[in-house]
């Protein structure tokens, strides 16, 4: 069974997007290919068709491979809940809430599971493209590594090492990484890739020759810096602060912001600008304000209260459109109760009182794929739910959506809420803007208010497919694919 592993000299060097590119290239070349990342740390997650949770980066890679995303592509997902704690998701379900040290000790337990499950994958696919995490030179973690060289050894994979030249110091980072690897680990590295290059590659070539001589490993290619309409990995996201188009959509950048990929579909509208607000002085006068998801809703609500943004949000909501998604929706309500200490030791906190709903955090997480109808606008939407809270309605709130399909089964229940005026809305549906109907309606309301021409929205999925093909073409032309196939087939 063929496999190749992409490791990086650091986080955010472009491992995720290069894995997606290779998955699409191998698919184009006629192979049955699968992405794999044993352990991902991310606040952007996704719910599969069977109701399991996985990292968003492997979702994009799955689409690149022509597959439906499934949790086996990312068997361990870590979702930080604070500086030293995280929720551990194993095979798509919550396994524990652990401190950094507790999880470090847990990793030993997962090795046999990872090896066994990977061997089953090898029976199903022609090529597996594996993504590492952070850097393989994190020498303090080597003895319990299950995501970089520890995994490469576990599944016997050859490695391509990626360095980011845009940050500077790429040759030092490649040489330094190799210096810190053990001798057996060095033998696994079969080539290097320089990523995010801007300029004339002829000027770079002497450096490529020198680094090859220093580390005794060939350069497989130089990938130019590019921008495509594809979601970034968590650490690589640039939270834009400026208005760059006629329609100004502002998003509150919460301290524990999660699933900010919910905004990706809005960003493909040509006359829409997405910017992020952290401080009151950045608020401005947006056409739409969005409060996104959070991995710690109560602490993030307290942060908005303490830094003055809550007051601006409440004032803004009197005459403008405000949408809360998941944790953002919960913040808009009257009360948030955390009886079981799911998020914090604080048992109850007052919300913003902009929607007549109350939230109680339950111990069991809701993870579902849904299709819905918007009662207010008579428009359809789809997406997925990932939340611990359950909302109840007061007399001054109406459901925003009626869920019609849950994980492939016909249902009929309420989701979200809207105020009597119809300008403040909340929903638990992540990806609510991915479908054309709801997104087009909301954006056209904004266009109408600004006396801009109304437009038809583009299908997000078809745009993603064309962008993945562009990515594959760019990377194929930048790398020595013959050499990569040679490496894959080496014993």
pLDDT tens-place string over residues 86-114? 899 999 999 998 988 999 888 988 999 99
Catalytic residue among 158, 256, 387, 430: 430
Angle, helices 309-316 vs 297-307, to 10°: value is 90
Give pLDDT tens digits for 141-151. Answer: 899 999 999 99
Tell me the helices (H) and strands (E) count for the chain, helix number first: 14, 26
User: Which two tokens mark 255?
Assistant: 């301290």
> Looking at residues 452-475, what average pLDDT do you find?
94
CA dist 253 and 276 (Å) reads: 6
CATH 3.90.1300.10 correct for 239-460? no
Strands 33-36 and 127-131: parallel
Respond yes or no: is residue 86 known to be catalytic: no
Of 23, 34, 86, 326, which is the active-site residue? 326
b/e map 51-65, b = 16+ CB within 10 Å: bbbbbbbbbbbbbbb
Q: How confident is the model at residue 232 (pLDDT cuts 50, 70, 90)?
A: low
Q: 484 Cβ partners below 8 Å, 6+ apart?
A: 4, 22, 160, 191, 220
Q: Which of 162-171, 338-347, 424-433 has the lowest mean pLDDT?
A: 338-347
**In the predicted structure, residue 389 carries a pLDDT above the cut 90:** no
- Is 80 exceeded by the pLDDT of residue 234? no
Task: Express each pLDDT in 241-279 by its tens digit.
Answer: 899 999 999 999 999 999 988 999 999 999 999 999 999
Please, are residues 63 and 69 in contact by the beta-carbon 8 Å criterion? yes
Contacts of 47 (CB under 8 A, 6+ apart): 53, 367, 368, 369, 384, 385, 386, 430
Q: Encoding tokens for residue 460? A: 């997000």
Pick the CATH number of 2-230 from 3.40.50.300, 3.20.20.140, 3.40.462.40, 3.30.479.10: 3.40.50.300
Q: What six digits make up the tokens of 4?
A: 């190749």
CA angle 310, 315, 316 (to 5 degrees): 95
Q: What is the 3-state composition of the chain as percent helix, strand, coil, each rounded to the nearest 5?
A: 35, 30, 35
Could you tell me the two tokens for 106? 């847990």
- For the stretch 322-338, pLDDT in tens is 999 999 999 999 999 98
pLDDT at 235 over 60: no
**Local structure of residue 454 (DSSP, 8 states):** P
Residue by residue, DSSP assigns 217-268 as: --EEEEEEP---SSPPPGGG-----S--SSEEEEEE--TTEE-GGGGHHHHT
State residue 318's pLDDT score: 96
What integer best gives the mean pLDDT of the chain? 94
157 within 8 A of 130, measured Cβ to Cβ: yes
Q: Please tell me the predicted confidence (pLDDT) of residue 237.
A: 59
Q: Are strands 321-325 and 288-291 parallel, antiparallel or unpaired?
A: parallel
Q: Taking a C-beta distance cutoff of 8 angstroms, is the pair 340, 346 a contact?
A: no
Q: Boundaries of CATH 3.40.50.880 in the chain?
A: 239-460
Q: What is the DSSP string of 44-83?
A: -EEE-TTS-EEEHHHHHHHHHTT----GGGSSEEEEESSS
| Residue 256 a catalytic site member | no
- pLDDT for residue 229: 84
Residue 400: predicted pLDDT: 95
**CA dist 337 → 30, 45, 79, 309, 349 (Å):** 53, 24, 21, 22, 7
Q: In degrees to the nearest 10, what's the CA dihedral of 45, 289, 464, 201? A: -90
- Residue ranges, comma separated, of all CATH 3.40.50.300 domains in the chain are 2-230
Q: What is the pLDDT of residue 217?
A: 97
pLDDT band at 73 (very low <50, low <70, confident <90, very high): very high
Task: Evaluate if residue 468 carries a pLDDT over 80.
Answer: yes
Q: ∠137-139-140 over CA atoms, to 5°? A: 140
Virtual CA dihedral for 70, 71, 73, 78, nearest 10 degrees? 140
């Amino acid at each position: 069974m063929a496999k190749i592993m992409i490791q990086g000299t650091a986080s955010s060097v472009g491992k995720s997007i290069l894995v997606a590119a290779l998955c699409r290239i191998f698919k184009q070349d006629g192979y049955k290919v699968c992405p794999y990342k044993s352990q991902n740390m991310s606040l952007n997650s996704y719910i599969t068709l069977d109701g399991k949770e996985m990292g968003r980066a492997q979702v994009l890679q799955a689409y690149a491979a022509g597959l439906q995303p499934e949790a086996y592509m990312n068997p361990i997902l870590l979702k930080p809940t604070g500086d030293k704690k995280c929720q551990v998701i194993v095979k798509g379900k919550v396994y524990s809430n652990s401190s950094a040290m507790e999880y470090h000790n847990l990793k030993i337990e997962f090795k046999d599971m990872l090896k066994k499950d990977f061997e089953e994958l090898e029976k199903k696919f022609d090529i597996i493209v594996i993504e590492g995490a952070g850097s393989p030179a994190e020498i303090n973690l080597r003895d319990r590594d299950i995501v970089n060289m520890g995994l490469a050894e576990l599944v016997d994979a050859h490695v391509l090492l990626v360095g980011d030249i845009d940050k500077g110091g790429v040759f030092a980072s490649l040489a330094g990484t190799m210096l810190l690897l053990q001798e057996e680990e060095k033998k696994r590295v079969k080539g290097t890739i320089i990523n995010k290059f801007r300029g004339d590659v002829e000027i770079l070539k002497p450096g490529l020759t020198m680094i090859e001589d220093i580390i005794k490993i060939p350069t497989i290619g130089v990938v130019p810096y590019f921008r495509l309409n594809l979601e970034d990995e968590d650490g690589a996201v640039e939270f834009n602060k400026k208005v760059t188009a006629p329609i100004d959509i502002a998003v509150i950048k919460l301290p524990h912001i999660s699933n900010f990929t919910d905004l990706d579909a809005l960003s493909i509208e040509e006359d829409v600008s997405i910017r992020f607000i952290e401080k009151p002085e950045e608020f401005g006068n947006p056409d739409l304000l969005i409060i996104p998801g959070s991995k710690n809703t109560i602490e993030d609500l307290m942060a908005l209260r303490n830094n003055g943004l809550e007051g601006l949000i409440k004032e803004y909501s009197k005459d403008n459109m405000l949408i809360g998604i998941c944790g953002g929706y919960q913040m808009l309500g009257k009360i948030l109760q955390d009886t079981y200490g799911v998020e914090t030791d604080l048992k109850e906190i007052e919300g913003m009182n902009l929607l007549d709903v109350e939230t109680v955090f339950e111990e069991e997480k809701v993870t579902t794929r849904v299709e819905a109808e918007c009662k207010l606008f008579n428009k359809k939407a789809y997406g997925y739910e990932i939340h611990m809270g359950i909302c109840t309605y007061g007399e001054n709130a109406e459901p925003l959506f009626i869920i019609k399909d849950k994980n492939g089964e016909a249902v009929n229940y309420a989701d979200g809420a809207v105020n009597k005026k119809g300008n403040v809305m909340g929903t638990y549906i992540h990806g609510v803007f991915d479908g054309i109907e709801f997104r087009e309606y909301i954006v056209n309301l904004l266009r109408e208010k600004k006396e801009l021409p109304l437009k038809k929205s583009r299908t997000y999925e078809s745009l993603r497919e064309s962008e993945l093909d562009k990515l594959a073409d760019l990377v194929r032309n930048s790398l020595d694919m013959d050499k990569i196939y040679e490496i894959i087939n080496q014993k």
